[in-house]
Structure formats: C-alpha cells, structure tokens
C-alpha cells in the first residue's frame, strides 16, 4: 500500500462553515466541550456566550462591560456565569491575582492558534478509550 493511500484512509475532511467570529468561536467551544469535557462540564447557553467573549477578548473588566452592554445582562449574572465556568474547568485562577481568571490550558492554546494565530483547520483524532 502506498503512503498516500494510507493517509487517505486516516483522514476524512469535513468543512464547517461559520458566519462571523462569534459563530466561529461558538463552534470551537462546542467541539471542545463535546470532545473533552465530562457531563458535569456541559455549558448552559449564557455560560457559553460569556466564554465566547473571554476567548475573543480575554478576561477583563472591560470584557465584562462589553458583555453587559451587548447581551443586556447584569454584572452579577456575568459573575455567576464566570463562577460556573471556573467550577466546570473552563477558567482557572490566575497565579498572580486570585480575582483574575485565565482560560484553561487547552482553551488558551485554541485562542492562541485560532484567534491570535488566525488558523482555520482543527484536526480531531480518535482513539479507543477505556
């Protein structure tokens, strides 16, 4: 069997269309959460929306103001969603400031590649689990 034939057997490309950056990040979050997070990590709609903003703009008071303005939610509601994002493992405490949050390692890698790095190809591999 030739090398190119074996590669064709290993890959099956699918194209995922998106409307804008919000939709693009939403699809990345969905893929990530379905593949890597446990049932306890399932996101509610608003948690997913908040995480979308944190991935695109970073965690900051300015991002929270943008969420408040664009989604019409109170700061307390955003704080609650942030609490659950941390509890579910999507956010982690900053090493230097406990009131600041960071994306978990995987999401930060996704942000670096797809938002900052402008990548548009995500490779998903499958392996049999336990």
Maximum alpha-carbon separation in the chain: 61
pLDDT-flagged residues of the chain (< 50): 1
Q: Which fold has domain 20-35+42-116?
A: Arc Repressor Mutant, subunit A (1.10.10)
Residue 113's SS3 state is helix
Q: What is the residue-wise DSSP string for 20-81?
A: SHHHHHHHHHHHHHHHHS-GGGPPPHHHHHHHHHHHHH-SSHHHHHHHHHHH---HHHHHHH
Give the pLDDT confidence score for residue 104 in this predicted structure. Answer: 96
Cβ pair 100, 92 in contact under 8 A: no
Give the pLDDT confidence score for residue 1 in this predicted structure. Answer: 45
Give the pLDDT confidence score for residue 25 in this predicted structure. Answer: 97
pTM of the predicted protein model: 0.87
């Amino acid at each position: 069997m030739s090398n190119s034939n074996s590669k064709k057997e290993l890959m099956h490309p699918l194209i995922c269309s998106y409307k804008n950056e919000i939709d693009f990040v939403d699809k990345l979050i969905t893929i990530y959460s379905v593949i890597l997070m446990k049932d306890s990590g399932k996101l509610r709609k608003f948690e997913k929306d908040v995480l979308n903003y944190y991935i695109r703009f970073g965690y900051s008071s300015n991002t929270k103001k943008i969420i408040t303005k664009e989604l019409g939610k109170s700061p307390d509601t955003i704080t609650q969603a942030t609490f659950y994002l941390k509890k579910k493992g999507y956010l982690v405490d900053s090493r230097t400031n406990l009131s600041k949050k960071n994306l978990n390692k995987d999401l930060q890698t996704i942000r670096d590649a797809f938002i900052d790095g402008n990548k548009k190809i995500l490779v998903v591999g499958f392996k049999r689990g336990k």
